A and B are shown apart, each in its own frame.
Chain A
Amino acid sequence: MSEQAKTEQPNPPDGPNAAPAPRKAVASLSAYLPTVTLAIASIVLALLVGAVLIIVSNDDALSKFSYFFSAPLDGIKAGLNAVGDAYWALLKGSVGSGAALRGTLEKAAPLICGGLGVSLAFRAGLFNIGAQGQLIAGATAAAYVGFTWNLPVVLHLLAALVAAMVAGGIWGGIVGLLKAQTGAHEVILTIMLNYVALQILRWLLNLNAFQAPGSDNPTSPLVDSDARFPQLFGVHLGFYVALLAAVGVWWLLSRTTLGFEMRAVGANPDAARTAGMSVAKAYVLAMVVAGLLAGLAGAQQIVGHQDPLTDGIAGSIGFDSITVALLGRATPSGTVLAALLFGALQSGGIQMQAATGTPLSLSTVLQALIVLFIAAPALVRSIVRIRSQDGAGTVLAKGWNA
């Protein structure tokens, strides 16, 4: 039955044809406007919901709201104050000073790398929820090389980065291989491997080889200083590496045969197969590169900071990478912008917590809300009444058998 094609298609009829000259594939800027408007609207809506949460978490505002009906202005004023203070702290903490800006960029760097990994996998039709585990693999490898090997300055850093990429690539590649060979769904595989990676890390941290000398804690020694990222214009090199990675992913996707195959497989694996492409190869390579990028993000955590390797090294970067990729619509440039935004949220969030006591988890909630709104254009449009435009088709596959 699926072989019967439609006989009626509500498609535009054949019109008179002006011979189309091959044009450069540069979309005019105005084509981006609807997407940008939507993005801004989503952010605003998320901030509004966040404002409610801020008010809830602020004792002063809450107590003033409790007698709302007798003195409404009090409550409203207190509420606005609380929200204003919190968001102002957020802004200051993210872009308000040189130090804040540096914090934002440094937080954004691993998000760019992780987000690129998830984006790339999305374009190949795979839901890579495993950035967390791939990051841990990368961080572990980088840390090990960092505090165990002894190499001259530049080589040491390079070796750490390469180790991270290899480890992450392997961790991602396992999923690609299993998916290609057995058809198992990558959502479950990647999530499970996240937990496995964490457990392996915890086990390693109890081994002597991984413990800081003189201590029994599951904390590694610090990485050699010559395996760290040097600073460049006040920001550690990792940020520039991340930007480079973004350019690399863009080049891979749009200017190489492999990228062409990945995109084709992601959009229509059957047509890709019929055209002679190897779906298995696309899946495996996509996951390897995705893991490689997430591993790089892990390396950033290790060699970009002064912290040792602990089991909290990944933080929430794994899931944040997913939200970054979604907000960035799985494109390299979008991912970078989204990572910068979320980096700002996190960096500013620390300041917000310090200054106003609003918990850091609000940043996470804001992130989730922004992504939710971005992914539901219909909802945002109905709230904000933006006229519906013919958007580009969605990149993401729909069901279980992508």
Chain B
Amino acid sequence: MSTLEATTADAPAVVVRNPVETRRRIRVGVIVGISTLLMLWMLLTTKGGDVSFAPTSPFDENQLSPITFPAQQTALISLIIVAALGLACVFTRGAVGVALGFLVGVAFLLGFLCWAYAGQPLPITNPLKGTLSYATPLIFGALAGALGERAGVINIAIEGQFLAGAFAASVSATVFGNYMGLIGGAAAGVLIAALLALFAIRYLVNQIVLGVVLVVFAGGITSFLLDQIPQTKQLTLNNPVVLQPKAIPGLSNIPVVGPALFTQTVLVYIMYASVVLVTFLLFETKWGLRVRAVGEHPTAADTVGIKVRWVRWQAVLLGGVFAGLGGAFFTVGTNGAFDKDISAGNGFIALAALIMGRWHPIGATLAALFFGFVFQMQNQLQLLQRIPSELLGMTPYIATVIAVAGFVGRVRPPAADGEPYVKG
């Protein structure tokens, strides 16, 4: 401080505590502690024998032989890693801390898999394909949410857009063919988005309330319409042909990851493109700059002549396209005919992924992949019958709670998110 003369005496050496850092350490410490105890219990109840991991499925082009490793020893090593690196995690911050955390997570997973699979005849299958599949609607939903929320409109109605999209996709696909199903799904998503935009932007309804009401409304309407289809007409109205995976030549031959990433349905390929598109749109184009301006400081945008409400409409409606496609996944993409509550809360998980990803399309995608992975693991473990399937069914939801409460905490949404813009 060359230009400043301190008038206070030199401070004696005092300990400076940073309260935020302390809280973070406690939080991480608690999580690591609980994980370690869990792993200890799992280690003690792990049966003897081997665990095998099959990196390729019998249908793949390039086969690789399964990897086997002894269950109990691996579990022990995992426990040590979790305890040691976890402790290190408590005291490091930043990128190193995140990397360590990731390793802790992997080790925990490994120990858990040993516990679950020890001595079982079934191998652990490559989770990549299933992860992507489960993550696809979540990514679509998160992208939809990202567009709207970056412009300042909270979208709790993603679940409603999923339901509407799923229903519309099923019916359009049955009547017109399954690519039309995608268009129908997207259109339904846009329709719900239009309701959201209308009530939030024009009529200034509280957006969280609005989202919940729209979910109830969409659920009710799809239920109602489903009931309208008499038994006799089920086959002609609600019986779509499910999309088949199509391999991308060349790329799908990469060992281990090729089939998972590049032998998927066209919906998944659209998803890849969408992530890139939305990221580019939001951060590299004039439109995206305006959208973000409107979501952070709408008055500032207004003062330079940007039409705040119109931009918000555009963002929300565009998001509707992606949400509708996400909904289409549940019928045309996997299950076929529409049934009530077919999306089972995925819309809310997509929202959680968006928040975890700090409202950034790439971050949300990574978070969605995490949730997809959890779904995939749940699916795999059900085959083992080691854990009751209902309790397994809880995992994605509990994972969301832990993710949102443990790792995200107080996040910073776009500054004007949720505030309708009213001029002087």
Listed in ascending order, the chain A residues whose CB lies under 8 Å from chain B are: 53, 56-57, 127, 129, 178, 182-185, 187-189, 191-196, 199-200, 202-203, 206, 319, 322-323, 326, 359, 361-362, 364-365, 367-369, 371-372, 375-376, 378-379, 394, 396, 398-401
The answer to whether A375 and B206 touch across the interface, beta carbons within 8 angstroms, is yes
Please name the residue on chain B nearest to A378 by beta carbon.
B203
Most chain A beta carbons < 10 A, residue from B202, B393, B401, B408: B401
Which of B355, B391, B397 makes the CB contact (< 8 A) with A203? Answer: B391
B141 to chain A minimum Cβ distance, whole angstroms, is 13
Contacts of A379 in B (CB 8 A): 199, 203
Which of B355, B393, B419 makes the CB contact (< 8 A) with A399? Answer: B419
Q: Mark B216-235, 1 if CB is under 8 A from A, else 0.
A: 11011101100110000000
Please name the residue on chain A nearest to B340 by beta carbon.
A361
Which of A196, A364, A372 makes the CB contact (< 8 A) with B199? Answer: A372
B22 to chain A minimum Cβ distance, whole angstroms, is 14
Please name the residue on chain B nearest to A398 by beta carbon.
B418
Given A326-B213, A375-B206, CB of A188 within 8 Å of CB of B352: yes
Please name the residue on chain B nearest to A174 by beta carbon.
B401
Contacts of B271 in A (CB 8 A): none
Contacts of B212 in A (CB 8 A): 127, 129, 319, 322
Given A369-B217, A401-B410, CB of A195 within 8 Å of CB of B224: no
Which of B355, B390, B406, B409 makes the CB contact (< 8 A) with A188? Answer: B355
Given A185-B355, A193-B397, CB of A53 within 8 Å of CB of B224: yes
B362 to chain A minimum Cβ distance, whole angstroms, is 20
Given A199-B390, A361-B224, A399-B413, CB of A188 within 8 Å of CB of B404: yes
The answer to whether B351 and A398 touch across the interface, beta carbons within 8 angstroms, is no
Which of B27, B199, B400 makes the CB contact (< 8 A) with A376? Answer: B199
The answer to whether A196 and B413 touch across the interface, beta carbons within 8 angstroms, is no
Contacts of A367 in B (CB 8 A): 216, 220
The answer to whether A401 and B390 touch across the interface, beta carbons within 8 angstroms, is no
Contacts of B348 in A (CB 8 A): 188, 191-192
B114 within 8 A of A: no
Inter-chain pairs besides A184-B409, A192-B401, 7 sampled, C-beta below 8 Å: A53-B224, A183-B409, A188-B355, A364-B216, A372-B217, A375-B213, A398-B206
B210 within 8 A of A: yes
Given A185-B404, A196-B398, A361-B220, CB of A202 within 8 Å of CB of B206: no
B208 within 8 A of A: yes
The answer to whether A195 and B206 touch across the interface, beta carbons within 8 angstroms, is no
The answer to whether B205 and A375 touch across the interface, beta carbons within 8 angstroms, is yes
The answer to whether A364 and B213 touch across the interface, beta carbons within 8 angstroms, is no
Q: What are 15 A-B contacts with C-beta separation under 8 Å?
A: A57-B224, A57-B228, A178-B405, A189-B401, A189-B405, A192-B400, A193-B401, A195-B397, A196-B401, A200-B391, A203-B388, A368-B216, A368-B220, A399-B154, A400-B154
Contacts of A53 in B (CB 8 A): 224
The answer to whether A182 and B405 touch across the interface, beta carbons within 8 angstroms, is yes
The answer to whether B217 and A368 touch across the interface, beta carbons within 8 angstroms, is yes
Contacts of A191 in B (CB 8 A): 345, 348
The answer to whether B345 and A195 touch across the interface, beta carbons within 8 angstroms, is yes
Tell me what chain B mostly uses at the interface: helix, strand, loop, or mixed.
helix
A73 to B228, CA, bound (A): 25
Q: Mark B126-139, 1 if CB is under 8 A from A, else 0.
A: 00000000000000
B275 within 8 A of A: no
B248 to chain A minimum Cβ distance, whole angstroms, is 35
A-B contacts counted at CB < 8 A amount to 149
A174 to chain B minimum Cβ distance, whole angstroms, is 9
Contacts of A196 in B (CB 8 A): 394, 397-398, 401
Q: Which of B13-34 contact A (CB under 8 A)?
A: 27
The answer to whether A399 and B223 touch across the interface, beta carbons within 8 angstroms, is no
Which of B208, B213, B352, B419 makes the CB contact (< 8 A) with A368? Answer: B213
Contacts of B210 in A (CB 8 A): 372, 375
A196 to B395, CA, bound (A): 8
Which of B203, B220, B408 makes the CB contact (< 8 A) with A184? Answer: B408
B276 within 8 A of A: no
Given A189-B401, A375-B213, CB of A56 within 8 Å of CB of B228: yes
A206 to B221, CA, bound (A): 33
A111 to chain B minimum Cβ distance, whole angstroms, is 14
Given A375-B213, A399-B418, CB of A182 within 8 Å of CB of B224: no
Contacts of B388 in A (CB 8 A): 203, 206
B209 within 8 A of A: yes
Contacts of A185 in B (CB 8 A): 355, 404
Q: Mark B117-133, 1 if CB is under 8 A from A, else 0.
A: 00000000000000000
A369 to B210, CA, bound (A): 11
B81 to chain A minimum Cβ distance, whole angstroms, is 26
Contacts of A323 in B (CB 8 A): 213, 216
A199 to B345, CA, bound (A): 13
Please name the residue on chain A nearest to B230 by beta carbon.
A59
A326 to B401, CA, bound (A): 26
A365 to B210, CA, bound (A): 14
The answer to whether A400 and B413 touch across the interface, beta carbons within 8 angstroms, is yes
Given A185-B355, A399-B418, CB of A192 within 8 Å of CB of B398: yes
